[in-house]
Structure 1
Amino acid sequence: MSLVAKLGRVVVLFGGSSAEREVSLNSGQAVLSALARAGVDAVGYDPAEGGLVGLEALAPDRVFIALHGRGGEDGTLQGALELLGIPYTGSGVLGSALGMDKQRTKLVWQAMGLPTPEAEMLGPNADWQDVTRRLGLPLIVKPVHEGSTLGISVVHSAESLATAYHEAAQFDARVMAERFVQGEEYTVSLVGDDVLPAIRVEAAGGFYDYEAKYLSNETQYHLPCGLQEADEAELGELCRRAYLAVGGEGWGRVDVMRDAEGGFWLIEVNTSPGMTDHSLVPQAAAHVGMDFETLVLRILACTLENRPA
C-alpha cells in the first residue's frame, strides 16, 4: 500500500485563536496545497470555528497540526486528540506543553547540563536594578508562552526593563528576562530521526523579531550556515539532545545563539514550526533535496508509527 493510501483522510488544522493565528493560516494553506498536489485526501479546518465537534464531523484518519501558539502547540489540543484516538503530527502532550514553556524548557536543559543563558522570572514589582545586576546587560525580555517573537524586546538599561516587562505582559501573565547572547543566530530543524543542516539567520536590524521573520525581505538565511563541519555536527547533536530532552517528537526546530568565543547557547524549541514561504524548516529540507510536498508527507508518515510510551 502506498504512503498516500495509508494516510487516509487528513485534516489540516490551522488558524485557531492564538496571537499567531495569521501565521498559522498561511502555514495551513501551504500544507493543504502540498497535500492536494500529492493526491492526499485532505481538508482544512479552523478549530476556532467549530471546535472539536466540527473536527470529529470531518472523520479524520489523522491530523496535521499547523496551529502555532496556545491552544494548538501547548499540549491541550494534543491531549484532546489523544482522547479522541486521532493520530496527529508533532510532539505529544508532554513535549508540546513543555516546549511551549520557555522557562521550564530552560530548567530541564539546566538540569541536564545543556548550555542555555541564565534567566529569571519577572513581576510587576521586580527590582529592575537588581535584575540587571544579576543577569547583566543587555537582556532579552519575553513572554514565557508565546512564539513568533511576539512581545519580545532587547533591553539595554535597567530603566527600560520595566517598559519591556509591561509590553511582554500584554501577551502572557508569565514573563522572563534572559541574558542576551550577542553573536550569531542559528536554527536547526529535525524531521523524524534526521537532523537537517543548520541555518544562520541574519536580520537586517540585528534582531530577528516578528517583522524580520514574516514581513521583511531583507532578512538573510545563510545555508550552508558557514560553520566548520565539526562545529555544525556539534550544533546538530546539541539540538537533537535538547529536543529529545523536552520530549520532542516527529518534527521541530531548535533555536541557538553562538557567542564570540564560539560557544553554543540553547534559546528555545518550536514543536509546531511555521510552514510559510519565509519558514525555516522547509528551507533546510530543500537544501538536502526534500521538496515541500515530500517534507509534508514525511512529517505525516511519523503519525503511522507508535508513540513512545
Structure 2
Amino acid sequence: MTTGQGTLALVGDIGATTARLALARDGMPVPGSAARRATADHASAEALLADYLRTQDGAPRTACLAVAGPVRGGSAWMRNRGWQIGADALSAVLGLDHVTLLNDLQAQGLALDRLGAAAQDPLLAGAPEPAAARLVIGLGTGVNCAPVHVVPGAALPVVPATEGGAVALPVHDAESLALVDWLRGTAGGATVEEALSGRGLARLWRFAGGHGRLGPQDVLTEAAAGEHHAAAALALYARLLGHAARDMALAHLALGGVWLAGGLARAVAPCLRRNGFEAAFRADPLTAEIPVQVVADDAAAVLGCARLAASD
C-alpha cells in the first residue's frame, strides 16, 4: 500500500548515526519540514519519530522510511544501532494507517532520477550505457549497495535490496591478503564493511602502523596534516574501494554508472582522486567507461522515500 496524490506522508532515512526526516506530499518533501536527529539520543525508532512529529503541524497518515539494515517481512534490524524496527509497531505507536520500510540504499537508488547537477559530484568521467543498470554504493557507519534497473513503462525503477557490505573483501595483492588475515584476527571477519565503513577506515590506520584509537574523521584530519600512517591508510582505502566498487559494478553489470553515497563517501572523495581508486576500478574492460559520481545531497534517500510514498 502506498500513499496517493495529495496525501501527507512521513518520510525519512534512519541511519545508525543520524536520521533525516521530513513530511512529503505529491512525491516531494514539504518545505520547512526537513529535520535531522541523532539516533543515539533516542531509545527506539518509535521514540525518535514521535519526537519529530511533535514538532510538525501536519498529521501524516502513512510513512515510508529507509532503514540502515536489512528489511524482511515488514521488520528491519539495524545492526549498527541495535534497533529492531517493525512496520506494524510503528503504525500502532504513531497512529499511522500504514508504514512502508525499505533499505536505505534502495531509497538512494529511487532518488537518482531526482538528483540535480549540484547534488552530484563527478569523480570519474565516463560514457554511461543508456537504459543499463546503475549502482549506488553507500559508505558510512556501514557499507551496502543497491542496483537500479529501469523498467520501460514503469513509474519507478526496480531497486532490489542487497547486503553488499557483508561480502568478502577482495584480495588482489600481498597487502590486501595480509589485511584479510589481520581483520580476521582483530574484527572477527574480513568483509567489505569491516574495511570500508567508518570503523574500517580507523582499522586501516591501525593496520598501517598507527597506535591508539582514532575515529574516521580523526584519520582524515591526521592525513591532511601529513601524518604518514593516516596517509597510508587513506591510500589503502582508496585502492580497496576501487576494487570492491569494480566487483560490485561487474556483479550487477552497472554500465549506466556508479554513485557513491553517504557521509564517508563525501569525506574521502578528494582522497580517492589522489590515490589508487581509478586504477583499481578501471582494471576490467567492462568498467573502463563507467562514470562514477559522489552523491552530494545528504538527504537523497529522503527524496527516494518521498517518491515511493507518492507512487500508486
TM-score by length of 1: 0.36
Which of the pair has the greater relative contact order for Cα pairs under 8 Å at 6+ separation?
2
TM-score by length of 2: 0.36
